[in-house]
Each structure stands twice: as structure tokens, then as C-alpha cells.
Amino acid sequence: MEENFLNCINWEEKYLYIIELGHYIPYLSPNQHTLENIIVGCQSQVWITINIDASDYVIFHGDSDSAIIKGLLTMIFIFYHHKKYYEIINFNIHMCFKKLSLNKYLTLSRLHGLETIIQTIKNKIHKIRQNT
């Protein structure tokens, strides 16, 4: 994913690639679009579910009413893929986005939404771990 993104010639190609990534997001059914799963603080509607399997790996599903946010959410899931919950808590995903220079291309409100999603994921992981 990173190589494909970096090979895009201009922002328009990068933007279209992010939208395309959104088509591959781990599916979240419409009946899971609940208040419990919504991410508060994003301009777009964003829902995620998080489960931790018996081996401590985190399993994500998500959806958004925004094509670009759905793609960004997919990118987050890719960066967190096959990581255990404690690895995600300590993982510096901001370095991944910095490598892609996303801060140059996204509006402040999108960057704020991205940060809200990342913090919500970490908070949900903490909550799940406290309840087990």
C-alpha cells in the first residue's frame, strides 16, 4: 500500500488511490452503525468495531459515509494489521502518515478526524482489555 501510494504522481492520483482503498475496508454491516460504534468528533460519520482474539491480535471492521474517510480508515487498519493490542497501543502510526506526507494533502479537519479515529481505537482497546 505504501509503495503504491508513493508511486502516485500527484495529489489527485493519491486521493483516488485512498478512495479505492476504501473499497477494501473490512465490512461493517449497517446494523452495526450504532452509537456504541460511532466515532464522536469526526465531521463524517465513522463507525468501527474492535475485537481482540485469543492470541491478542486486534480485529477491525469499519465504515464511513465519506469515501475519503473510508479509505483513510482502511489505511489505519492496514498499518495496524496483524498487530497485538499492546503493539497497537505503542505503535507510532503518525510516522507512517508522515512518510506518506498526508499532512501536506489533507485539510485540518480531516487530520483532526484522523487523530480522533486513532485515539478512539486506542481508547476502545484499553476499554476491552479492562473488561477482560
pLDDT tens digits, 46-57: 999 999 999 999
Which pLDDT band holds residue 42 (cuts at 50, 70, 90)?
confident
Which pLDDT band holds residue 65 (cuts at 50, 70, 90)?
very high
- What is d(CA 104, CA 75) in angstroms, rounded to the nearest whole number? 17
* Tally of domains in the chain: 1
User: Which residue out of 25, 42, 75, 117 is catalytically annotated?
Assistant: 42
How far is CA 54 from its chain centroid? 22
Q: Has residue 93 got a pLDDT over 90?
A: yes
pTM to 2 decimal places: 0.93
Which pLDDT band holds residue 67 (cuts at 50, 70, 90)?
very high
Residues of the chain above pLDDT 90, percent: 85
User: Which residue range is the domain that position 38 belongs to?
Assistant: 2-130
Contact 83, 59 (CB under 8 A): no
pLDDT of residue 103: 87
Contacts of 1 (CB under 8 A, 6+ apart): 21, 75, 78
pLDDT tens digits, 95-125: 999 999 988 888 899 999 999 999 999 999 9
Cα Rg of the chain, angstroms: 14
DSSP string, the chain: -HHHHHH-SSHHHHHHHHHHHGGGSPP--GGG-STTTB-TT-SS-EEEEEEE-TTSBEEEEEEESSHHHHHHHHHHHHHHTT-BHHHHHH--HHHHHHHTTHHHHS-HHHHHHHHHHHHHHHHHHHHHHHT-
Q: Has residue 132 got a pLDDT over 80?
A: no
- Any catalytic annotation for residue 42? yes
How far is CA 100 from its chain centroid? 15
Residues of the chain above pLDDT 70, percent: 99
List the CATH number of the domain containing 36: 3.90.1010.10
